[in-house]
Chains A and B, each alone.
Chain A
Amino acid sequence: MPEPGRVVPVYAVTGGRTRSAAVDLPMESLVMAAAQASDGMQAEYRQILEMADRPVSLVEIGSALQIPVGVARVLVSDLAGAGYVTVHRPDATRGDGRPHPAVLERLLEGLRAR
């Protein structure tokens, strides 16, 4: 059974691009670094790994690198496929894709505590 905030399974990266897998990644998906950048790694990948020292979303990455979200999505998929980052997708255990009531309850608590 899928768990909320689960980590995306490692993508099968073939020849670099992972278009079909990347398309499914919602723009608020959170990216966390799981490994150090390696020598000779492309600048964009390095930047993403630096940012992902704490959880950052695809939109934040896109904004920081000044690239469209779609491009950030492909770069993150590459990194996930190679094991450099883990990706936390939105909780989508409900049929209509909306957040689960138990998650909403926790969100409510969080907002009330502010």
Chain B
Amino acid sequence: MRADGKAYVPLKILIAGGFGVGKTTMVQTLSEIPPLVTEEALTTASVGLDDVTAVPGKTTTTVAMDFGRISMDDLVLYLFGTPGQDRFWFMWDELARGSVGAVVLVDLRRVDDSFPAIDYFESRRLPFVVAVNSFPEADLFPDDEVRDALALRPDTPVVRVDARSSGSCTRALIRLVEHSLRRDGAGPAGSRTLASASGTG
């Protein structure tokens, strides 16, 4: 048993994007623990929309999500790779609630795959950055063209990442947190509250 008296603060960032775009790789690159997989039971509400229709008599299945962790003193940041399929929106809601924001990974050869994630975060007003993963032809397109292709709002940051490089992925997270802060503005009253509570470390 350890009673270190710290007020640990869990945080989370979502890593979203189309299938095979590098979400798992990015979580793996950033995580201090071997990335883990967790499961949530899928409710019967999804029956009819889900694969289970192909399995007579089966009414439930599970959603697997991978996640990783970065500890920084009393802050513990979790990274969640979002379930790829659109039918798992209900899962996204739980993941998005209370999160710092999202990194939407994009493969420029398949930009359409990133539209559901971008639409989702825009409609929920959740801060996100678009991270163009360094697949072979990614460098051929300047940021302006990427913005146009994705119909991004002017204030949405676009960054280039190599999902295999820890420095590159960390920079993407930094851009996200900066973006999130810029959008919020300062909250002086709350800062005072936190200052009094954070002297435990």
Contact = CB atoms under 8 A, between A and B. Distances in A.
Given A4-B7, A88-B7, A108-B181, A28 B12 contact: yes
A35 to B, nearest CB: 6
Contact of A114 (B94, B95, B97, B170): B170
Nearest to B35: A63
Interface stretch (B50-58, B109-117, B186-194): B186-194
A100 B194 contact: yes
Contacts of A90: 9-12, 98
Contact of B1 (A5, A26, A34, A68): A34
Interface in B160-200: 170, 173-174, 177-178, 180-181, 184-187, 190-191, 193-198
A38 B67 CA distance: 31
Contact of B9 (A32, A64, A91, A105): A91
B178 A108 contact: yes
B148 interface: no
Contacts of B99: 98
B34 to A, nearest CB: 10
Interface residues of A, number: 51
Interface of A is mostly: loop
Interface in A21-69: 26-30, 32-36, 53-55, 57, 59-60, 62-64, 68-69
B173 to A, nearest CB: 5
Given A60-B69, A98-B100, A68 B40 contact: yes
A33 to B, nearest CB: 5
Contact of B39 (A62, A97, A99, A100): A62
A4 B6 CA distance: 11
Nearest to A49: B1
A3 B38 contact: no
B41 A68 contact: yes
B76 interface: yes
B67 to A, nearest CB: 6
A63 B181 CA distance: 32
A8 B28 CA distance: 31
A70 B41 contact: yes
Interface in A1-19: 1, 3-6
B191 A107 contact: no
Nearest to B73: A110
Interface in A83-114: 88-94, 97-108, 110-114
A32 B186 contact: no
Contact of B98 (A26, A59, A101, A111): A26
A-B pairs, 8 with minimum CB distance = A110-B72, A5-B7, A102-B194, A63-B36, A5-B9, A28-B10, A3-B197, A102-B191
17 contacts: A4-B197, A5-B197, A28-B11, A28-B76, A28-B78, A54-B2, A57-B10, A59-B67, A88-B8, A90-B9, A100-B193, A100-B194, A105-B181, A107-B177, A110-B77, A111-B170, A111-B174
